[in-house]
């Protein structure tokens, strides 16, 4: 069993310190307390907490100054949740820009406190896992391949990264558009700024505006993704799925370089590089009136096209080797050598799912296979099983459905399959699918997927 998380609570009010400590200890956390900035510095150094709950107003030094001090010293490697009973919008924004995970207003509510603590610890754990596996990252650090196509792509991204104009990345599903976006971010002047990813297709239409711009409704403030990306990159995945109303607000914010949160009255400055990705033909979407022309031209200043894997099949052996090493090092799967005959077969495979399909195939071969080598007959069986799954899961009738319904049915089949593979763990499913956990819960509910039943192997792979 893993050790409980250690939380440092910093507040100059004894009653609040004691209450928060009692609540958190009841939830199984280890808790240290500090009454002012001086004791907070000492406790932060002595206990190496996993999370800090930090009051803003204290007698010797305010929490914002302390947060900035930890940032400047390079000691702020743990999530910090700010607390205040007299905070302003400007204070909350400043805390967020300094790296605070969230901002809680007093009086604290039990449900929100515990939920925010849980989410902050989960985010920190995921970040630490990324650091530990930095030598063998969970995503390819750069578009991988020694062939001409990938070499040209890397050079193009590096040239474009030098400028600060918007970028539109196009390509089929699974080709590595996110990898290209992260590579661009890493080579740009904004490399030290945040990289904020938004899966547009996973956001419910009625929540899209709040997700991007934040809100000040109900007496609370929520920082939107556009504001979170201040000084860095905002990556909009599946931009074609954005509704026209949100598109209009985004265009306005980008042109005026400012916006208002929903329900807010104070102007927020925009300082981001916008990188959007699409697998749709946006020009055709514009002609059909489904995508705003002004947004398309704003995005299409520096277009990047990521080629499908079948167009750089010479890189397949290198990708196979890369993902075998990744699963062996990160998932403790047994190392197996893939034979030359197997590599040759896969070089000549069409890869309709591109690099994502290759990665999944490698995982399947390492989990289900035996022996020190991955032989050709095993590869043939694995490819054949994929064909059976595709033919069985996508009957001809699905192609007669409207696109929205067809996509929903495929999403349901895909998520049920991945949820079963994850043993019903929604957090793991979110990681596999590249979707934020809160959005994943919303998506599962909208598709009517029962996580408990699917996790036990009931109903996965069926079209509803």
Task: For the chain, give the percent of residues with pLDDT over 90.
Answer: 33
The pLDDT of residue 431 is above 50: yes
**pLDDT given at position 105:** 82
Interstrand relation of 167-170 and 302-305 (parallel, antiparallel or unpaired)? parallel
Q: Which has the minimum average pLDDT: 42-51, 193-202, 269-278, 407-416?
A: 407-416
Using one digit for the tens of pLDDT, what is the confidence trace for 124-174?
Answer: 665 554 433 333 334 446 788 888 999 999 999 999 999 989 999 999 988
Measured CA to CA, the distance from residue 96 to residue 425 in angstroms comes to 30
Measured CA to CA, the distance from residue 347 to residue 341 in angstroms comes to 10
* Number of alpha carbons in the 13 Å side-chain half-sphere of residue 184: 33
Interstrand relation of 273-278 and 233-237 (parallel, antiparallel or unpaired)? parallel
CB-neighbour burial class of residue 368 (10 A; exposed 0-12, middle 13-18, buried 19+): exposed
Using one digit for the tens of pLDDT, what is the confidence trace for 436-445?
Answer: 776 777 788 7
Q: Is 199 helix (H, G, I), strand (E, B) or coil?
A: strand
Q: Is 100 helix (H, G, I), strand (E, B) or coil?
A: coil
Using one digit for the tens of pLDDT, what is the confidence trace for 206-229?
Answer: 678 888 898 887 767 788 889 888
Higher pLDDT, 352 or 395: 352
Output the pTM of the full model. Answer: 0.57
C-alpha distances out from residue 154 to 161, 179, 284, 462, Å: 10, 11, 28, 40
The pLDDT of residue 110 is above 90: no
Measured CA to CA, the distance from residue 395 to residue 31 in angstroms comes to 55
**Closest to 54 in 3D by CA, of 93, 11, 105, 97:** 11
The pLDDT of residue 298 is above 90: yes
**Residue 399's pLDDT band (cuts 50, 70, 90):** low
Measured CA to CA, the distance from residue 254 to residue 249 in angstroms comes to 9
Give the Cα-Cα-Cα angle 243, 248, 254 (nearest 5 degrees): 120
**pLDDT given at position 409:** 76
Interstrand relation of 267-269 and 258-260 (parallel, antiparallel or unpaired)? antiparallel
DSSP string, 181-195: HHHHHHTSTTTTS-E
Measured CA to CA, the distance from residue 111 to residue 129 in angstroms comes to 27
Say which residue the tokens 């033919």 belong to.
391
pLDDT (average), residues 276-297: 93
* Number of alpha carbons in the 13 Å side-chain half-sphere of residue 282: 25
**What are 277's strand-pairing partners?**
169
pLDDT (average), residues 370-395: 69
**pLDDT given at position 175:** 92
**What are 275's strand-pairing partners?**
167, 235
Across 57-146, the runs of DSSP E, i.e. the strands, are: 80-84, 102-105
**pLDDT given at position 404:** 65
pLDDT (average), residues 380-403: 57
The 10 Å Cβ neighbour count of residue 44 is 22
Measured CA to CA, the distance from residue 397 to residue 116 in angstroms comes to 44
Q: Which has the minimum average pLDDT: 35-39, 375-379, 387-391?
A: 387-391
By the 8 A CB rule, do 385 and 352 touch?
A: no
The most confident of the ranges 29-43, 205-219, 393-407, 415-429 is: 29-43
Q: Return all residues near 221 (Cβ < 8 A) that are at least 6 apart.
A: 89, 92, 103, 214, 215, 261
Mean pLDDT of the chain: 82
The pLDDT of residue 454 is above 60: yes
| First-last CA distance in the chain | 39
């Amino acid at each position: 069993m893993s050790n409980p998380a250690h939380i440092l609570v910093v507040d100059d009010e004894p009653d609040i310190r004691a209450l928060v400590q009692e609540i958190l200890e009841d939830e199984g956390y280890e808790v240290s307390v500090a009454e002012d900035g001086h004791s907070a510095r000492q406790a932060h150094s002595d206990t190496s907490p996993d999370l800090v709950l930090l009051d803003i107003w204290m007698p010797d030094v305010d929490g914002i100054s302390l947060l900035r001090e930890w940032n400047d010293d390079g000691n702020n490697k743990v999530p910090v949740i700010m607390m205040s009973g007299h905070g302003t919008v400007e204070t909350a924004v400043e805390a967020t820009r300094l790296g605070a995970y969230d901002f809680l207003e007093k009086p604290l509510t039990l449900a929100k406190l515990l939920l925010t603590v849980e989410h902050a610890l989960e985010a920190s754990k995921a970040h630490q896992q990324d650091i530990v596996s930095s030598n063998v990252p969970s995503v390819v650090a750069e578009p991988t391949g020694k062939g001409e196509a990938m070499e040209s792509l890397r050079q193009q991204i590096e040239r474009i990264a030098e400028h600060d104009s918007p970028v539109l990345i196009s390509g089929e599903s699974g080709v590595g558009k996110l990898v290209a976006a992260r590579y661009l971010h890493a080579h740009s002047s904004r490399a030290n700024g945040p990289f904020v990813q938004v899966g547009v297709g996973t956001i419910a239409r009625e929540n899209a505006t709040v997700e991007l711009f934040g809100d000040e409704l109900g007496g609370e403030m929520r920082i939107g993704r556009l504001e979170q990306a201040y000084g860095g990159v905002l990556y909009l995945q599946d931009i074609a799925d954005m509704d026209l109303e949100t598109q209009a607000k985004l265009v306005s914010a980008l042109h005026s370089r400012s916006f208002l949160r929903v329900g807010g009255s104070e102007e927020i400055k925009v300082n981001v590089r916008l990188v959007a990705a699409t697998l749709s033909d946006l020009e055709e979407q514009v002609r059909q009136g489904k995508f705003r022309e002004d947004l398309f031209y704003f995005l299409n200043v520096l277009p990047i096209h990521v080629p499908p894997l079948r167009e750089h099949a010479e890189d397949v052996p290198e990708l196979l080797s890369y993902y075998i090493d990744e699963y062996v090092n990160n998932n403790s799967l047994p190392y197996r050598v893939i034979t030359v005959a197997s590599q040759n077969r896969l070089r000549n495979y069409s890869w309709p799912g591109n690099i994502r399909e290759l990665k999944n195939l490698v995982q399947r071969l390492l989990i289900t296979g035996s022996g020190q080598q991955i032989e050709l007959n095993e590869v043939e069986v694995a490819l054949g099983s994929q064909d059976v799954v595709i033919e069985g899961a996508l009957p001809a009738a699905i192609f007669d459905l409207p696109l929205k319904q067809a996509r929903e049915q495929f999403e349901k089949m895909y998520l049920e399959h991945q949820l079963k593979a994850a043993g019903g763990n929604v957090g793991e499913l979110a990681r596999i699918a590249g979707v934020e956990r809160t959005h994943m819960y919303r998506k599962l509910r909208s598709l009517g997927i029962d996580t408990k039943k699917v996790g036990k192997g009931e109903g996965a792979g069926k079209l509803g």
